[in-house]
């Protein structure tokens, strides 16, 4: 698959087939992503992948936390506020998603089920947890973002689907214990990985983008 095709065909996948992802494929994806550039070649990423029984165990502890209404507590906290233009895009995306699923925005029960689906890792057979040393600066988040995209494009190449989701790292205490992640690492982001269920309603959700002309300014040529 060429890069443009991978870029255009990638969408956040929120429903997966139960089919397992083999270790060899996960390692090939990581080999590809390992070429990601980083500031002064610091390569700050530390990666923990949960599959099989390990993932089952994390899932079940997440379910308990959700049932007991344990507050979500990601290592890198959610921003409290967005500038208005960005907030508006979030609202548009959220409204389009709820509309597709036929959910009223005031339907708290249905919205709780959406949260639960996040915390169930959307049924994915593998979850990649991306960590950064706590002493690193914001600069390394740029590197981790690039690394994430590399993973997602490589996954497309190997016929797999993904979703990057902060909700996957909502309970870092659980992930830290189950995967024996050292205390000096922040669990920054999760990427679910698997074979998407293209028949599922969630797979029909395709987000829009701003036109390129709205955000690109090229100076010096016509």
Ligand X SMILES: Cc1cc2nc3c(=O)[nH]c(=O)nc-3n(C[C@H](O)[C@H](O)[C@H](O)COP(=O)(O)O)c2cc1C
Residues found near ligand X in the complex (CB under 6 A):
11-12, 14, 93, 118, 163-167, 207
Of 28 and 89, nearer to ligand X (C-beta) is: 89
Smallest CA-to-CA distance from 190 within 1, 59, 28 is with 59
Distances (CA, A) of 55 to 22, 77, 175: 14, 23, 9
Which residues share a beta bridge with 4? none
C-alpha of 20 from chain center: 18
Nearer of residues 134 and 204 to ligand X, judged by Cβ: 204
Tokens of 209: 């983008």
CB of 82 to ligand X, least distance (A): 13
Could you identify the residue written with the tokens 């947890």? 129
Instruction: Provide CB contacts within 8 A for 42, sequence distance 6+.
Output: 136, 140, 143
Q: Considering the complex, state which of residue 32 and residue 164 has its C-beta at the smaller distance from ligand X.
A: 164
Give strand pairing partners of 187: 131
Q: Which is nearer to ligand X, 30 or 98 (CB)?
A: 98
- Residue 93 C-beta: closest distance to ligand X, Å: 5
Q: How far is the CB of 79 from ligand X (least distance, A)?
A: 11
The H or E element spanning position 67 is helix 52-67
Q: How far is the CB of 220 from ligand X (least distance, A)?
A: 31
As measured in angstroms, the least distance from the Cβ of 171 to ligand X is 13
Residue closer to ligand X (CB basis): 53 or 209: 209
For the chain, the distance separating the N- and C-terminal CA atoms, rounded to the nearest angstrom, is: 33
């Amino acid at each position: 698959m060429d890069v443009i095709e991978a870029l255009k065909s990638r969408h956040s996948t929120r429903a997966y087939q139960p089919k397992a992802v083999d270790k060899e494929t996960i390692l090939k994806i990581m080999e590809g992503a390992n070429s990601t550039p980083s500031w002064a070649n610091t390569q700050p990423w530390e990666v923990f992948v949960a599959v099989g029984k390990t993932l089952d165990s994390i899932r079940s502890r997440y379910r308990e936390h959700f049932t007991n209404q344990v507050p979500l507590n990601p290592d890198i906290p959610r921003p409290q506020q967005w500038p208005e233009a960005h907030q508006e895009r979030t609202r548009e995306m959220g409204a389009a998603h709820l509309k597709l699923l036929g959910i009223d925005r005031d339907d708290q029960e249905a919205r709780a089920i959406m949260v639960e689906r996040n915390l169930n890792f959307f049924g994915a057979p593998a979850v990649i947890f991306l960590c950064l040393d706590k002493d690193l600066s914001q600069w390394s988040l740029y590197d981790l973002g690039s690394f994430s995209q590399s993973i997602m494009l490589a996954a497309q190449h190997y016929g797999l689907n993904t979703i990057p989701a902060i909700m996957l790292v909502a309970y870092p205490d659980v992930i830290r214990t189950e995967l024996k992640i050292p205390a000096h690492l922040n669990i920054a982001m999760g990427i679910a990985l698997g074979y998407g269920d293209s028949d599922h309603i969630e797979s029909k959700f395709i987000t829009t983008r701003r036109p390129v002309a709205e955000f690109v300014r090229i100076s010096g040529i016509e």
